[in-house]
Each structure stands twice: as structure tokens, then as C-alpha cells.
Amino acid sequence: MLLKAPKNFLVALLVVGALMLNGCSGEEVSSTTASPESTLAASESNTTAQATLASEVKNEAKEAVPGMSNLPRLEGEATVVMTINGSQVTVELDGKNAPVTSGNFVDLVQKGFYDGLAFHRVIKDPQPFVAQGGDPKGNGTGGYIVDGKERNIPLEIKPEGDESIVYGKTFKRANIRKQPELQHKAGAIAMARSQNPDSASSQFYFALADLAFLDGDYAVFGKVTEGMDVVNNIKQGDKIENAKVSKGAENLKNAN
């Protein structure tokens, strides 16, 4: 995978290694541009037009990505509060720009999946990068298992200013030159995956610094709004004592 190289090449290798999972496989699915018809009837109100837009975007995306209709979706925003080392971290999730990625995370939080799991990779040297957790095996190879099979979600990144979301391809693979709507700023939360773009399951990471060279390659789905000092102090082996949805649980759809 080609990344925009940071100043230190070794750093890039460390970060990529930290975000990659082992033992994942599967065929790559095509990207989709889930956009509505270019025009709406003049008689429709602005509110109706927005509702129609959201519905068409959702339905077209479901049809374009195999199996996606069965995945949890966050249709709006939600807030998750994690307790780490006895202190709280508040994370705001963006279901407008990353509905499937956010929905997957909220669904797992509500199931109590993350409670007691450790941050198995934390990279701070030679400078802060990521704190990665969410692996039930604790070694970077685990995910969320349903009926004996790992539940995976497609890579989901929305180009800045677009109504459409790209699924299943990195921006480079899709020949997109825009920045993502959700970027790797310090405090961003994003999904870890293997080389297969559609291999994310339960593992996530916090960006400990601005990581622009990861934009367009990994799916950001929210950001830390309170407790960044707690995130910055995470050490390898520290556990998520518990995680709860404090707001927006009603926006989760298709949970099972």
C-alpha cells in the first residue's frame, strides 16, 4: 500500500503495521457512488427533498455493496463514553458521513463487546501515532464473530463536499483526489483492517496526532470530544473498563 510518506519512513511502516490485522481475507467489492437523481420535482419542499436524498443514498448503497443491507447503520449521530484507567473518554460518532462504520461500532458497544478488552498496540515513539484496541484475542488477529464467522464491514469513506460515499476502495484505487469528509486529525477514531479494504470488524484506533497520510485509506467515523488527555496516556495493555452509548442509541438501525 502506498501512503503519503511522513518525514520519518520508519514511522510510516510502524503505523501501517499497527493498523493492519492478520489472517483476514476476502474479495474486494466495487466502490459505489450512492447519489440521488440530479433533479427533484419543483413542487417538493426542501425538507422533503432532504428526506428523499437520504433515503435514496441509503437504498442505493445497500444495493451496491453485497451483504451491506444486513449490517447495523447509524442514521444520525451518537455519543459513546468509554471508561479507561478509571477516567472517561467521550467519542462523538458521525452516522451521516460514515453510517455503516459508526453503526457497527455502536452495535458492538451496546452488546458490551468492548468491555474488558485491552489496547494491544500503542505507538508513541519516535512520536505519537495510534492507540489500537477492540481485539477479543488481544494479538491483532481477532474480530466480532457471529454464527462462527467474523462480521466484516466495507471500507467506507465520503469525499469532502460530496453527497456520495465510496465503498470498498481506497481513494487512490478509486482515483479520487479530494480529501475525505472525516480526516485523521488528532483524536479521530477509525477502523483498523488488513490489506483487504473490506476486512474491518471490531478493531479500532485513536489517532494520537494528525495523520494526514492515512486519509483516504482507512475509515474515520468520529472523534474524541472529551478526555483526550486520557487517550494520550493509554499504554499497551490498558483496558476499556466499559463503553456505553450515552446519546443517539435510537439512531441505530438493523441491529441484531
Using one digit for the tens of pLDDT, what is the confidence trace for 163-208?
999 999 999 999 999 999 999 999 999 999 999 999 999 999 999 9
CB 241 within 8 A of CB 83: yes
What nine digits make up the cell of 83?
A: 471508561
Q: What percent of the chain clears pLDDT 90, i.e. is strictly above it? A: 71
CATH superfamily of 44-253: Cyclophilin-like (2.40.100.10)
- pLDDT given for residue 17 in this prediction: 53
Q: What whole-number distance in Å separates Cα of residue 255 and Cα of residue 103?
A: 8
Query: Strand 130-133 and strand 220-226: pairing?
Result: unpaired
User: 67 pLDDT band (50/70/90 cuts)?
Assistant: confident
Task: Please give the torsion angle defined by the CA atoms of residues 2, 204, 127 and 223, in that order, rounded to the nearest 10 degrees.
Answer: 100
Distances (CA, A) of 37 to 2, 52, 97: 35, 10, 19
Residue % of the chain over a pLDDT of 70: 75
Predicted TM-score (pTM) of the model is: 0.79
